[in-house]
Amino acid sequence: MPDGIEDLIRRWDDQQSAYITHREQRFEIMLDVIAHVCETAPGLDPDGSGLTALDLACGPGSLSQRILERFPRARVIGIDYDPVLLTLAGTWLGARYGERFTALDADLAAPGWDAGLPEGAAHVAVSSTALHWLEPAQLVALYATLGELLPLDGVFMDADHLRFDPAAQPLLSALSAADDERTQHAAHSQGVQTWDEWWADAVALPELGGRKAARDRRFADRPPTPHAPLELHLSALRTAGFAETGVIWRHFDDVVVLGRR
């Protein structure tokens, strides 16, 4: 593996944890749900045999790596549209887990993003800190596709900040903002990198810097995304055919949403 990659991954986790107060706990509960799926679904085993999980907007592979580590026979397909982060994911997870990890280049905001997936591939789909990038209509379309992709009893989980409405929920908004501020201040005052500092280091690596222009081009036309509240996620999942929906974890406005087909 090229020099500097593992260090960059460790620093990605640190910088993300500065924006997400209980990031590891949030991952852990998603892994516990996957463990239940592996123990109970026909054709799957507790070690992850038979399981393929989709990691939607996988970035450098944080959640993919935790799945591959906890379930030693599982496979993960990590999907992302950022050529820098997807290269990073493919490089280190490929080196560590071989063919158990597949990196798939696709724009989750565009219809047909699932065209590159093998037939009947996934039993579980997950996402962390990413779907807020989608406009509400794109989110609804994504959930409709997942409703078709996942088998009956298949599970989808999304971990993300689902912001409160500042006009209707001023106290909840203020409490969430204060918690974000505390977490960022604590991390950054101990020298944890900010998002921008991490990115400057990432694109300074020759293996990644060559992909920066493509990244800039791909994300240049994305408008700021309007607020998609929790209720929208839950109702879009129900409309998409998820029989059971709910919240399995929450810390202020940081939420893990679950849908079962």
Ligand X SMILES: C[S@@+](CC[C@H](N)C(=O)[O-])C[C@H]1O[C@@H](n2cnc3c(N)ncnc32)[C@H](O)[C@@H]1O
Could you say whether residue 146 binds ligand X (CB under 6 A)?
no
Residue environment code for 120-145, b if the CB has 16+ CB neighbours within 10 A, otherwise e: ebbbbbbbbbbbebbeeebbbbbbbb
Sole window of 29-37, 75-83, 224-232, 251-259 interacting with ligand X (rule: CB under 6 A): 75-83
> Of residues 62, 87, 91, 183, which one binds ligand X by CB under 6 A?
62
Instruction: Name which of 59 and 90 has its Cβ closer to ligand X.
Output: 59
Could you say whether residue 199 binds ligand X (CB under 6 A)?
no
Of 35, 67, 242, the residue nearest 149 (C-alpha): 242
- Least distance from ligand X to the Cβ atom of residue 26, Å: 9
Instruction: Name which of 82 and 114 has its Cβ closer to ligand X.
Output: 82
> Of residues 8, 130, 240, 258, which one binds ligand X by CB under 6 A?
130
Sole window of 93-101, 122-130, 166-174, 227-235 interacting with ligand X (rule: CB under 6 A): 122-130
Could you say whether residue 63 binds ligand X (CB under 6 A)?
yes
SS3 per-residue string spanning 11-30: HHHHHHHCCCCCHHHHHHHH
Could you say whether residue 257 binds ligand X (CB under 6 A)?
no
- Least distance from ligand X to the Cβ atom of residue 10, Å: 13
Instruction: Name which of 49 and 184 has its Cβ closer to ligand X.
Output: 184
Number of residues located near ligand X, criterion CB under 6 A: 17
Could you say whether residue 59 binds ligand X (CB under 6 A)?
yes
> Of residues 15, 75, 76, 80, which one binds ligand X by CB under 6 A?
80
> Of residues 82, 114, 158, 180, which one binds ligand X by CB under 6 A?
82
* C-beta separation of 170 from 162 below 8 A: no
Could you say whether residue 58 binds ligand X (CB under 6 A)?
yes
Sole window of 80-88, 224-232, 241-249, 251-259 interacting with ligand X (rule: CB under 6 A): 80-88
Instruction: Name which of 44 and 159 has its Cβ closer to ligand X.
Output: 159
The CA radius of gyration of the chain, in Å to the nearest whole number, is: 18
Which residues here bind ligand X, judged by CB under 6 A?
16, 57-59, 62-63, 80-82, 85, 107-109, 128-130, 133
